[in-house]
Structure 1
């Protein structure tokens, strides 16, 4: 086993440990983590620590409230981190993620439109408008007399498209009735408190398919990170690979936005943390982003649930972490942009 593989073998048991710990944590004022640990022992071994009614109540909390939220959080974190890693490889720029390119804002607009109209599927609507956002970003970034699209123009176009879709999201909020407005506002803050088994079922297939596709492309990402000419020289069709990658990334992002709302900048800073741990080789960084991306977002969600007496939307935490990191990257990458 080489050194790169040894670096992240300890990542594999991390999700299991975090999921188990997360099942014991919650905002309950009457039952502590120790009580739920005793419940788990009773559930596993049949010992009698709690009466039947108390045991049934705790079982309902664990399996119908906490577990679907934990699984959804892990899937969303893995999807956003891996999508950010793929986009940074595609554009060869560490400042790129689905939020910067407008995919998140387009998906947010689509999902909010579906929530306001009730008859649209949030997942389908989020995916359609996410694709529209990235297509518009590419169209406006194209230069007539240049064979390749400028990375700076892609990022600037993405920010403009993102602003347009966020303006559309604001219009939807303004026109929605108070009941739907409350749901949309809570959802735009990246709140996971409405996680359910139904949302897990909606999200698990598209996220799994997208992650499997990105995992299969991990060695191609190394070639694409070298540039279109270098990739084509070794027999890889860069345009076809870029199209597949964009579809997979959009599927990851749009499904995450539809299921959990806007979790800003997570796909920007998480790939950098992973890159510091396992290096730039995408054969290792892609699976590491799946594992650590899901685990770290789950850790953040645990803090949002238990830090205060009320729950803090997870999107606020990721913005507080991501915004300073984004500014730091802009400062350190200034010479490359000149």
Structure 2
């Protein structure tokens, strides 16, 4: 594919001569969004039925490492350390990972509509996870099952796109729709045959996507695959810019495009599996956040990926805070992310309709 076929919304194009901006250096947006994440995390720890002042939250956290005089109530420490902190850590971890998956897939496929949700990876991971739950396992087995399902779904989408030449962007979207529907049907079948008293309630609640059962054990379970794959993706972010130049140019610069794409997509499947295994399906984060980041910092993947991780962490933490604060009964976070993400997806479809229904040129 020549450089003229590269989607401008998903791939960076850096002119040789241009006016420098404040976002030319990666450190500036990274520091800025890190500050945003810290503020959102403190707000999430403070907000709830039992309100804790932010200054006491800071003292409670620092008091675990420093010999500070105790000025907080024991109940406040219990609420922060045992209830809210693992939930906030999990939302930060999952939000960063899911946003990274969207940014990587949009760059790899040169498609602004690509995400783990749209391409059926989340549905495949759900199917693998539900099979493991039906068998009565959890923990590492759940991560492994979700990973296998996600990789299988991704492989099927790529095979469908390659089988029909002429309109790869269209076939990727259609292939993802078909594969996602197929795996979703199999998930529905499993929920139909599951025992309605012992197995079905846990499967249905898990599929809706929720952080209500967050714990330090789940944080550790998700951290291993997400951090491992996330570090690899961030270390290779500059190579995404080279892949955007086309396979011939990338090969001339010493990069094997097929091997690099395979490695990146395996990382995407691993992050998705880690997320799905502990919180169920939380969709649309990987579609919404990277586009917001490109509006703010441009399209250079060296900036897009780390900033997407930070904004995704802050975004999901804020949504989770809303999910447990809007009503007396907690709203599954997957519902809120879909309510916000679905209209955003429609806007993207309208803006990119000429590319989806036309050629890639």
- Taking structure 1 as the reference length, the TM-score comes to 0.91
Preserved contact between residue 29 and residue 307 of structure 2 (Cα < 8 Å):
no
- Structure 1 SS opposite 2:329: coil
Q: Cα offset for 1:171?
A: 0.8
After superposition, where does 1:38-187 map in structure 2 within 5 Å?
38=56, 41=59, 44=63, 45-48=68-71, 50=73, 55=74, 57-119=75-137, 121-143=141-163, 146=165, 150-178=168-196, 179-187=198-206
Q: Give the Å deviation of 1:316.
A: 0.8
2:343 corresponds to 1:321: no
Report the equivalent of 2:323. Answer: 304
Deviations 1:123-172 (A, max 9, x none): 0000011111111112222237x5x8812112211110100100011011
Residues 41 and 130 (structure 1), Cα distance of their counterparts in 2 relative to 1, 3 Å cut = closer
> Which of 265, 287, 290 is residue 306 of structure 2 equivalent to?
287
Matched with 1:21 is 43
Q: 1:39 to 1:163 in 2, by over 3 A?
A: closer
State the SS of the aligned residue for 1:280.
Answer: coil
Q: Is the 8 A contact 1:24 1:37 kept in 2?
A: no
> Take 1:70 and 1:259, find their aligned partners in 2: how far apart are those partners?
14
Offset, 1:37? 5.1
SS of match in other structure, 1:193: coil
2:121, 2:153 within 8 Å by CA — same for their partners in 1? yes
Check the 8 A contact 2:30/2:310 in 1, yes or no: no
- TM-superposed CA distance for 1:333, in Å, is 0.4
Distance in 2 of aligned mates of 1:319 and 1:241: 31
CA displacement 1:285-318 (0-9 Å, x = unmatched)? 1110111111111011111111111211111111
How many Å separate the matches in 1 of 2:182 and 2:72?
57
Q: Which stretch of the first structure deviates more once superposed, 307-316 or 38-47?
A: 38-47
Alignment partners' CA distance in 2, 1:223 and 1:38: 48
2:286 is matched with: 267
Per-residue CA deviation, residues 90-118 of structure 1 (Å, 9 max, x unaligned), is 01110110111111000011111111111
| Structure 2 gap segments, 5+ residues each | 1-19
Local SS of the residue matching 1:177: coil
**What CA distance in whole angstroms lies between the structure 2 residues aligned with 1:8 and 1:119?**
39
Change (3 A) 1:241 1:308: same
Q: Alpha carbon RMSD of aligned pairs, Å?
A: 2.0
Secondary structure at the aligned position of 1:12 is classed as helix
User: Contact 1:91/1:225 (CA < 8 Å) preserved in 2?
Assistant: no
Task: State whether residues 274 and 288 of structure 1, in contact with CA within 8 Å, keep that contact through their aligned partners in structure 2.
Answer: yes
The TM-score, its normalising length taken from structure 2, stands at: 0.85
Closer/same/farther in 2, CA of residues 49 and 324 from structure 1, 3 Å limit: closer
Bigger proportion of residues as helix: 1
Residues 182-261 of structure 1: pairs in structure 2 closer than 5 A: 182-261=201-280
Gaps of 5+ in 1: none
Distance of 2:175 and 2:246 partners within structure 1: 21
SS at match of 2:173: helix
1-structure distance, mates of 2:220, 2:277 = 13
**Equivalent residue pairs, number:** 327
